[in-house]
């Protein structure tokens, strides 16, 4: 049986990397005594896979992974057992039994939305400043930025990958393309806004929080958990 | 979740910030309001190494069983953070509550290898504690050291208030109880240290005076007060079954070097290899009950969620209930998907059978710690493995499908000749020939690989070789090339490989291992020249040491290449680890005569460790 598990990663655990979160869950699943399926061979491992890698430093309440289980109890029971053994900062919010035709989460991620807000340690509230530059930037025909890949730097127009961007609460809300096909990091959008505002870009001047991870076409996005049902 | 000691800006600018955030699974949380004693335990190396070390987990658990004490952990900051902390004047902090170490009552540092000495200075200084013990006042943190290197802590004597000599589980409670009295009264720091020096196992270096002969050797070591004991006795646990064990070890987020449950099955070793310090100082050999170990294994796996388990001991094959324990581990593997990582076992039919069940034969290799190339030299070092054992073991393994063999050697052992060195290459060659004789052509897939590697022998205190000279690095390199050439001349040379360890770092290990108090100044100067993480080749810089030795007029050959006279007083003469000087000297003479000493189960040699009244010395002997 395939389950999709939605969780949050907040607080100081924003400093642990993607692979570490994976290992954390493998251990938590064992401590919670969930009946997860194992691969065959000399070093068997749990059959679980994560939807989207999450960079160090970012928090999120919309992370997902899929897991294959031999037996399951109920959404409530499994959530409860996991949450009792998970450390502060990681919490399971939902578990759904995937539909038979559901594809692996990794393959279907198409967008994510983020909330960008002030880093309390900084004197100036950079997101507050940048708010005023959203409109001028989005009114342009293209938003060019240098994208760094492993081997080279290329100029690229990120405007088509910004599905939505607006002032929100104390900071900025943005809905961006995400996943294996098109992917836009929120950091790049902030960098573009800094260019627009002609201020120096610095990753530590603001915080990023992922709100949700989506699947489907950009016009009809659905959270990844819509691929199954609670049980 | 409290606030972190480091800012977002710093954490996002350094490698692996998870090293510094604490909050791991199974950490102990206590309310500081209920606490009398704050104790920081430190492994002076990077987090991933320190977290893998069982001893810290044992002490962490041990201290936190006391309701009046809160023990937290601290490790060496990596050089990237070290630099930032110095530039921005940030004090080193504990992981659990992110509190500066200078606010703790105690900083306990485990000293596992000589090349971490500069990291010890780093930890003390970054903590904001005066580097020299003599500069600390009432209210300052006490710095206490323990672990195997504390059997000769003399090079570090200036930086520690005290050392704990022995296994931590024995006398620490007494020290902390006395400390509470000190803290609550107007007892002076000096008075406390003097009283503490009477607790078994406590060594307060400042209470001993060392005088030297004209030739530089030690003349005498004497306590400066009458009520301070003349010798400090190593503390060993005798009731090994009932000693507390950490059932809820802290589980790191980032991958530690040992990312698994470790089950300590036995302490000490019956074998008596003459080069091995652990084999001497952890005498007598004590075993844990197998039923209890099974229960421990289950509880620890449940508490941590680890998917792997390994055994800890100096020589697992000598654990008397090993068959039963391994059968249990194989069951765990088959029923609970637990990977079993086996410690190096003596290679025989039984161990090969077990290994074939828990590891992929094609990917794994067999390990023989031959240590020396000829039987003559193996007799000198009292290594009870014969060429026949190795060839037979390899034969069985080749039949079982293995085709990779690892061989460990040491070069520079006392009495070693070129013939012994040739023996290294010849032994490797014989094993490869055994492969071609054993495995028919059609069954060979790929090539048999014999990987031999050699380290540079370092004589250690409290071993029969504490009197022995170490060879010079030039001679070591000559021998290494000699062996390399010999490998190149073997018939099956394409299946053989020979590697050897770095010479410079090992020489320093040799200086510090048998060093005295005069090296304290050298360590200080080396550290001030910027040395930290000397155990890491990428950070180690021999020139800093060379300069410091020169500036302090220290001739390293005095410590390294000099053979000690039978009656020389060692810098560690005032410490007593149970095994007697008489026994060790006898063993040194036996070594030079090539006379083998039986192991503890064959025949007791009266080494002195029976004073602990436990373990193998009192097992029923037939
Ligand atoms: S006293 Fe005898 S049995 Fe005990 S450790 Fe020493 S040699 Fe071994």
Residues of chain B with pLDDT under 50: 1, 622
> Which residues from A are below 8 Å from B307, CB to CB?
26-27, 30, 45
Q: What is the b/e burial string over B586-612, where b = at least 16 CB atoms within 10 angstroms of the residue's CB?
A: bbbebbeeeeebebbeeeeeebbbbeb
Phi/psi of residue B347, each to 5°?
-80, 115
Contact A16 B253 (CB under 8 A): yes
pLDDT at B622: 39
For atom 5 of ligand 1, the residue with the nearest CA is B284
Contact A27 B360 (CB under 8 A): no
Dihedral sign (CA B102, B106, B111, B117): positive
B283 Cα: distance to centroid of ligand 1 (angstroms): 7
Residues of chain A with pLDDT under 70: none
Nearest residue to B280 (alpha-carbon basis) of B415, B459, B154: B459
Using CA atoms in the order B463, B466, B471, B476, what is the torsion angle rounded to 10 degrees?
Answer: 20
For atom 8 of ligand 1, the residue with the nearest CA is B600
Phi/psi of residue A210, each to 5°?
-85, 135
The percentage of chain B sitting over the pLDDT mark of 90, rounded to a whole number, equals 84
Q: Alpha-carbon distance B423 to B388, whole Å?
A: 14
Contact B337 A38 (CB under 8 A): yes
For atom 6 of ligand 1, the residue with the nearest CA is B607
Q: Alpha-carbon distance B318 to B309, whole Å?
A: 19
> Which residues from B are below 8 Å from A85, CB to CB?
25, 305
B285 Cα: distance to centroid of ligand 1 (angstroms): 8
Residue of A nearest to B305 (CA): A27
For atom 3 of ligand 1, the residue with the nearest CA is B617
Contact A15 B1 (CB under 8 A): no
Which region holds residue B147: left if phi is over 0, alpha if psi is between -120 and 50, else beta? Answer: left
Largest CA distance in chain B: 83
DSSP classification of residue B205: G
pLDDT at A53: 85
pLDDT tens figures, B337-396:
998 888 778 888 888 888 888 888 777 888 899 999 999 999 999 998 899 999 999 999
Do β-strands A59-68 and B286-287 pair in parallel, antiparallel, or remain unpaired? unpaired
Domain B260-501+578-609 classification at class level: alpha beta
Residue of A nearest to B298 (CA): A31
B610 Cα: distance to centroid of ligand 1 (angstroms): 6
Contact assessment for residue B287 and residue B240, using Cβ atoms and an 8 Å cutoff: yes
Looking at ligand 1, which atom is closest to the CA of residue B605?
A: 7
ipTM attached to this prediction: 0.92
CA angle B135, B139, B142 (to 5 degrees): 65
Q: Would you list which residues of chain A are within 8 Å, Cβ to Cβ, of chain B?
A: 11-13, 15-17, 19-20, 23-24, 26-31, 38, 41-45, 56-57, 85, 87-89, 119, 121, 203-204, 207
Q: Is the beta carbon of B610 within 6 A of some atom in ligand 1? A: yes
Looking at ligand 1, which atom is closest to the CA of residue B284?
A: 5
**B445: three-class secondary structure by DSSP:** coil
> Which residues from B are below 8 Å from A38, CB to CB?
337
Would you say the CATH fold of B260-501+578-609 matches that of B8-233?
no
Q: Which two tokens stand for residue A64?
A: 């997902």
B287 Cα: distance to centroid of ligand 1 (angstroms): 14
Fold that domain B8-233 belongs to in CATH: Rossmann fold (3.40.50)
Nearest to B305 among A17, A30, A42 (CB): A30
Contact assessment for residue B92 and residue B100, using Cβ atoms and an 8 Å cutoff: yes
pLDDT tens figures, A97-151:
998 888 999 999 999 999 999 998 888 898 999 999 999 999 999 999 988 777 8
pLDDT at B621: 52
Q: Alpha-carbon distance B84 to B473, whole Å?
A: 36
Q: Domain boundaries in chain B?
A: 8-233, 260-501+578-609
Which region holds residue B608: left if phi is over 0, alpha if psi is between -120 and 50, else beta? Answer: left
Contacts for A167 with CB less than 8 Å, ≥ 6 apart = A131, A134, A173
Q: Is the beta carbon of B605 within 6 A of some atom in ligand 1? A: yes
Q: Is the beta carbon of B616 within 6 A of some atom in ligand 1? A: yes
Q: Is the beta carbon of B236 within 6 A of some atom in ligand 1? A: no
pLDDT at B620: 58
């Amino acid at each position: 049986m395939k389950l999709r598990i939605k969780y949050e990663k907040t607080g100081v655990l924003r400093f642990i990397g993607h692979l570490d979160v994976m290992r954390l869950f493998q251990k938590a699943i064992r401590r919670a005594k969930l009946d997860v399926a194992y691969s065959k061979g000399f070093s068997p491992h749990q059959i679980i896979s994560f939807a989207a890698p999450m960079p160090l430093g970012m928090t999120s309440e919309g992370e997902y992974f899929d897991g294959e289980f031999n037996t399951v109890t109920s959404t409530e029971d499994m959530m409860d057992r996991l949450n009792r053994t998970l450390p502060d900062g990681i919490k399971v919010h939902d578990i759904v039994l995937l539909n038979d035709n559901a594809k692996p989460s990794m393959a279907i991620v198409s967008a994510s939305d983020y909330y960008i807000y002030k880093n309390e340690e900084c004197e100036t509230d950079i997101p507050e400043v940048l708010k005023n530059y959203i409109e001028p930037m989005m009114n342009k025909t293209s938003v060019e930025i240098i994208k760094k890949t492993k081997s080279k730097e290329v100029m690229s127009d990120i405007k088509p990958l910004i599905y939505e961007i607006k002032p929100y609460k104390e900071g900025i809300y943005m809905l961006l393309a995400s996943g294996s096909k098109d992917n836009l990091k929120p950091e790049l959008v902030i960098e573009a806004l800094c260019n627009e505002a002609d201020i120096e870009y610095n990753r530590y001047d603001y915080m990023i929080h992922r709100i949700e991870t989506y699947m489907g076409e950009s016009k009809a996005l659905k959270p990844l958990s819509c691929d199954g049902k609670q049980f | 979740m409290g606030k972190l000691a480091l800012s977002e800006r710093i954490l996002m600018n350094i490698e692996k910030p998870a090293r510094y955030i604490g909050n791991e699974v199974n950490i102990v949380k206590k309310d500081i309001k209920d606490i009398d004693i704050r104790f920081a335990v430190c492994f002076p190396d990077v987090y991933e190494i320190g977290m893998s070390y069982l001893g810290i987990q044992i002490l962490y658990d041990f201290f936190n069983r006391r309701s009046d004490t809160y023990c937290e952990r601290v490790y060496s900051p990596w050089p990237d953070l070290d630099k930032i902390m110095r530039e921005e004047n940030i004090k080193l902090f504990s992981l659990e509550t992110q509190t500066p170490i200078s606010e703790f009552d105690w900083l306990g540092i485990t000293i596992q290898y000589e090349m971490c000495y500069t990291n010890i200075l780093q930890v003390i200084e970054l903590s904001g504690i005066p580097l020299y013990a003599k500069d600390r006042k009432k209210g300052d943190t006490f710095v206490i050291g323990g672990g195997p290197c504390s059997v000769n802590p003399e090079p570090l004597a200036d930086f520690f208030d005290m050392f704990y000599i022995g296994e931590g589980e024995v006398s620490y409670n007494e020290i902390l109880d006395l400390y509470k009295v000190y803290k609550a009264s107007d007892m002076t720091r000096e008075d406390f240290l003097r009283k503490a020096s009477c607790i078994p196992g406590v060594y307060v270096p400042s209470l001993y005076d060392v005088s030297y002969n004209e030739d530089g050797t030690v003349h005498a070591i004497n306590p400066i007060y009458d009520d301070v004991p003349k010798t400090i006795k190593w503390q060993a646990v005798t009731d090994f079954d009932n000693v507390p064990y950490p059932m809820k070890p802290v589980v790191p987020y980032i991958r530690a070097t040992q990312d698994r449950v470790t089950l300590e099955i036995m302490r000490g070793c019956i074998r008596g290899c003459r080069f091995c310090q652990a084999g001497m100082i952890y005498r007598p050999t004590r075993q844990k009950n197998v039923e209890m170990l099974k229960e421990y294994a289950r509880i620890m796996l449940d508490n941590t969620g680890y998917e792997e388990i390994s055994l800890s001991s100096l020589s697992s094959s000598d654990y008397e209930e090993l068959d039963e324990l391994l059968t249990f581990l194989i069951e765990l593997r088959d029923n609970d998907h637990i990977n079993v990582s086996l410690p190096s076992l003596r290679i025989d039919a039984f161990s090969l059978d077990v290994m074939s069940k828990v590891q992929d034969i094609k990917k794994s290799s067999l390990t023989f710690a031959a240590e020396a190339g000829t039987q003559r030299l193996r007799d000198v070092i009292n290594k009870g493995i014969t060429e026949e054992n190795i060839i037979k073991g390899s034969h069985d393994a080749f039949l079982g499908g293995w085709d990779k063999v690892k061989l460990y050697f040491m070069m520079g052992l006392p009495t070693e000749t070129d013939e012994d060195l040739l023996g290294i290459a010849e032994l490797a060659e014989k094993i490869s020939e055994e492969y071609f004789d054993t495995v028919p052509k059609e069954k060979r897939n790929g090539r048999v690989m014999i990987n031999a590697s050699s380290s540079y022998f370092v004589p250690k205190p409290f071993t029969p070789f504490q009197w022995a000279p170490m060879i010079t690095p030039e001679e070591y390199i000559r021998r290494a090339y000699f062996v390399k050439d010999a490998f190149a001349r073997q018939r099956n040379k394409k299946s053989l490989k020979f590697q050897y360890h770095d010479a410079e770092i090992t020489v320093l290990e040799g200086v510090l291992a048998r060093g005295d108090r005069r090296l304290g100044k050298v360590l200080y100067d080396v550290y001030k020249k910027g040395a930290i993480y000397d155990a890491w080749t990428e950070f180690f810089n021999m020139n800093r040491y060379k300069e410091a030795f020169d500036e302090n007029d220290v001739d390293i050959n005095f410590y390294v290449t000099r053979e000690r006279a039978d009656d020389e007083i060692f810098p560690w003469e005032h410490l007593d680890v149970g095994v007697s000087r008489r026994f060790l000297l006898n063993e040194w003479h036996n070594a030079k005569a090539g006379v083998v000493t039986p192991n503890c189960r064959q025949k007791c040699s009266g080494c002195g460790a029976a004073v602990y009244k436990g373990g193998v010395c009192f097992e029923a002997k037939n």
